[in-house]
Amino acid sequence: MIDVIPRLAKELSQPERIVAAVAALIDEGNTIPFIARYRKEVHNSMDDQLLYELADRLERLRALEKRREEVRAAIEGQEKMTPELSAQLDAARTLAEIEDIYRPFKPKRRTRAMIAREKGLQPLADIIFAQDMESGDIFEIALDYVDPEKGVESAGDAVAGACDIIAENISDDASARKLLREMIFRVGTVTSRAATQDDSVYRMYYEFSEPVKRIQHHRMLAMNRGEKEGFLSVSLDVPEEDALNLLYNQFVMPGSVTSRLVADVCADAWKRLLGPSMEREVRGALTEEADEQAIKMFALNLRPLLMQPPLRGRVTMGLDPGYRTGCKVAVVDATGKVLDMGVAYITHGERGEAESAAMLSRMIQKHAVGAIAIGNGTASRETERFVAGLLKKTKTSAKYMIVNEAGASVYSASKLAAEEFPDFDLTLRSAVSIARRLQDPLAELVKIDPKSIGVGQYQHDMPPARLAQSLDGVVESCVNAVGVDLNTASAPLLTRVSGIGAALAKNIVAYREEHGPFGQRRDLKRVPKLGPRAFEQAAGFLRVPGGRNILDNTAVHPESYDAAEKLLSLLGYTNADVKSGTLDELDGRIRALGEADVAKEIGVGIPTLRDIAAELRKPGRDPRDDLPPPMLREDVLSMDDLAPGMKLTGTVRNVIDFGVFVDIGVHQDGLVHISEITNRFIRHPSEVLRVGDTVSVTVLAIEPQKKRISLTMKG
């Protein structure tokens, strides 16, 4: 097999030795979060996103090499391998090129060419394709192949069968397919037309075309979905003259009596075989590229959504709005424990509104509610108006926030929710989830299938396995970046910790329930089936607040405890200083002694020294606390309150290819088109914005009927 390391190193612009070292760590069973955090000396402090990309590309390139060897073995098994074929296989850079080489040798369904070969017409096909006859009549030669018993009734039948063989050979020619593929990407056009007279969200694509080389990913996905739903007819248009000229130049040799016949075969091969095949292949490639971009965008949005700052220390009320069945209410304490529940009939007339106001006021006063989370689904607008009015009348400091409830219903109907709240109605479980999402988004959202969380674009059209792989990586990265309290974490949260799967997570929770809280990290080793490898991978990401060893509440890995203690001793500190947070001069003392000398003295590399020092300065630090806090509201706007030129503050809810959607507090998110984000040129909104960012916007236009709000960030 060809070594993938040099190619991967070139793609990622990284030294081969580093790529090889990371590949070796992955092959040994180390997780990306562990490698990213605790093996920085090996990979020169790559960030985890680059490491995930490296791991993904490594897997794909190895799959490519595996397929290359499978094809080689298949051709050799047919005893048809030649030095030229072998060299072509070695030179192939993509799966498409490898499959093109294998195409002539691949088992096929019964084709016209196959039938012609069975009739003994291969020699005649060779004579025609050789194009070395300067005179004579090919139909006279074809008379020798007439055989009524085989179904060849005439010279014309023989020539037609021979042409079928040539057409299939042309269609299977790897070099021709490669040239055609390149030509299509250069001059082809993706076209969509209406397949129905009905109006739909796909109206802009009812008469639409765009060059293949410039087609935007979100448009490709929109057209694919519109075609799937029966609103569009999508095609790949290629200038036939260009395609035929390419084939003529490749296969037709002027001056022979069979040259015209071969040219006609080229036209037949293009129309009947190559054209449809190349259209499927190129559309598949465009869709795959668009899928990858959509998955990348989903991951890009998911990360800041999961990493939203928690709302600590507040009793929170969760409201799951509804019309007929009422608004479900749940109050949870600062740790997420359910304190109270009920149903408020906010939209059921004056009496229902009055009774709801009394019930919610009583709950707010009784439990000292500090924040209210309102789900953004059905009846959210009415519920928000009701809550804003209630807060004005009630003597409370509580404020509210609209929370994206995507996936809450999925969670409430899940086996996990049934285990967590066996006595609660499905809708009441949703209210609890909404409240907890405001308190600690990460801890609550890990319970939900990432693709149901509601960020990104066209996620339900993506290849499920590929999407899950990417999103699971994001969730894993976020959970391990924050760290997990070993004594309070739920099984779903523990499952996302490096080295711990679902079975081990359940074992940890069961051990904790039976033996009480963990006093130190090393107690993990007593958990059934949690071996040395799992402990190594997981320990650094698990926290034991208030444990016997202060280092157990930091991201310092147990393998570096000796180094951390040596560092404290070398600098004149103790564990008591770490607990009291009096290490303000730590960095200065390290600089005074020399960073390289200190690292050598305690037996670690400089990156690990820096990480240890950072953790000692702030034990138990949560990286989310460095981000702007959630933006709580106390009053409500509607679309009727908006006017062009109005300036507002909002929160970015979704980043997509053509802009960002911003929550400005009117229930309907507004769109800032990519052209309205900044005065300078940007290729993608993600260059300057991410989910959760607080931004200042100006209203450009309001379309109440279409529920559209256009915003700008310029100026």
Q: Going from the first residue of the chain to its last (715 residues), give the mean pLDDT of each consecutive group of 10, the final group possibly shorter.
A: 87 95 96 95 92 94 94 94 93 91 89 94 96 90 94 95 96 94 95 92 93 93 94 95 96 93 96 95 93 87 86 92 91 92 92 93 94 87 88 87 80 81 83 91 84 70 82 89 91 93 94 94 95 96 92 95 95 89 89 94 95 91 80 72 86 87 83 93 90 89 86 89
pTM equals 0.79
Distance CA 309, CA 629 (A): 6
CA 166 to chain CA mean position, Å: 44
The residue to which tokens 């404020």 are assigned: 399
Biggest CA–CA distance in the chain, Å, is: 105
CA angle at residue 12 from 6 to 17, to 5 degrees? 45
The residue to which tokens 């929710």 are assigned: 417
Q: Which CATH homologous superfamily contains domain 112-188+238-299?
A: Tex N-terminal region-like (1.10.3500.10)
Distance CA 171, CA 384 (A): 63
Q: State the CATH class of domain 546-619.
A: mainly alpha
Distance CA 364, CA 318 (A): 11
- The reported pLDDT for the residue numbered 456 is 63
Distance CA 388, CA 363 (A): 16
Tell me which DSSP letter residue 246 carries.
H
Whether 586 and 571 have beta carbons less than 8 Å apart is answered as yes
Whether 604 and 560 have beta carbons less than 8 Å apart is answered as yes
- The reported pLDDT for the residue numbered 637 is 67
Indicate the domain borders of the chain: 5-105, 112-188+238-299, 316-472, 546-619, 639-712
- The reported pLDDT for the residue numbered 454 is 67
- The reported pLDDT for the residue numbered 643 is 87
Distance CA 443, CA 335 (A): 11
- The reported pLDDT for the residue numbered 625 is 82
Q: What are phi and psi of 631, to 5 degrees?
A: -90, 105
* 696, β-bridge pairs: 649
Q: Are strands 371-375 and 338-344 parallel, antiparallel or unpaired?
A: unpaired
DSSP 670-698: EEEEGGGT-SS--S-GGGT--TT-EEEEE
- The reported pLDDT for the residue numbered 636 is 64
In the chain the first and final C-alpha atoms are separated, in Å, by 57
Whether 527 and 507 have beta carbons less than 8 Å apart is answered as yes
Instruction: Tell me the three state secondary structure of residue 459.
Output: helix
Distance CA 484, CA 493 (A): 8
The residue to which tokens 């004005």 are assigned: 392
Q: Which CATH homologous superfamily contains domain 639-712?
A: Nucleic acid-binding proteins (2.40.50.140)
Distance CA 321, CA 305 (A): 22
Whether 323 and 333 have beta carbons less than 8 Å apart is answered as no
- The reported pLDDT for the residue numbered 417 is 80
- Nearest Cα neighbor of 521 from 536, 533, 501, 510 is 536
The residue to which tokens 């409830």 are assigned: 405
Q: What are phi and psi of 662, to 5 degrees?
A: -120, 130
Q: Are strands 670-673 and 708-712 parallel, antiparallel or unpaired?
A: parallel
* 233, β-bridge pairs: 193
427-431: long-range contacts at Cβ-Cβ below 8 A with a sequence spacing of 24 or more? 427/320, 427/322, 427/325, 427/328, 428/320, 428/328, 428/330, 428/341, 430/320, 430/328, 430/375, 430/405, 431/318, 431/319, 431/320, 431/328, 431/329, 431/330, 431/341, 431/375
Give the architecture-level CATH label for domain 316-472: 2-Layer Sandwich (3.30)
Q: In CATH, which of 2.60.120.620, 1.10.10.650, 1.10.357.10, 1.10.1660.10 is domain 5-105?
A: 1.10.10.650
Could you give the residue ranges of the DSSP H alpha helices within 464-501?
Answer: 464-482, 491-495
Torsion of CA 523, 525, 527, 532, to 10 degrees: 160
11 membership: H or E segment, kind and range: helix 5-12
Tell me which DSSP letter residue 170 carries.
H
- Nearest Cα neighbor of 357 from 404, 396, 402 is 396
Amino acid type, 143 = L
- The reported pLDDT for the residue numbered 231 is 94
- The reported pLDDT for the residue numbered 513 is 92
Could you give the residue ranges of the DSSP H alpha helices within 548-672?
Answer: 561-571, 575-580, 586-593, 595-602, 606-617
Structure tokens at 313: 């220390």
Whether 527 and 511 have beta carbons less than 8 Å apart is answered as yes
Whether 492 and 448 have beta carbons less than 8 Å apart is answered as no
Distance CA 562, CA 599 (A): 13
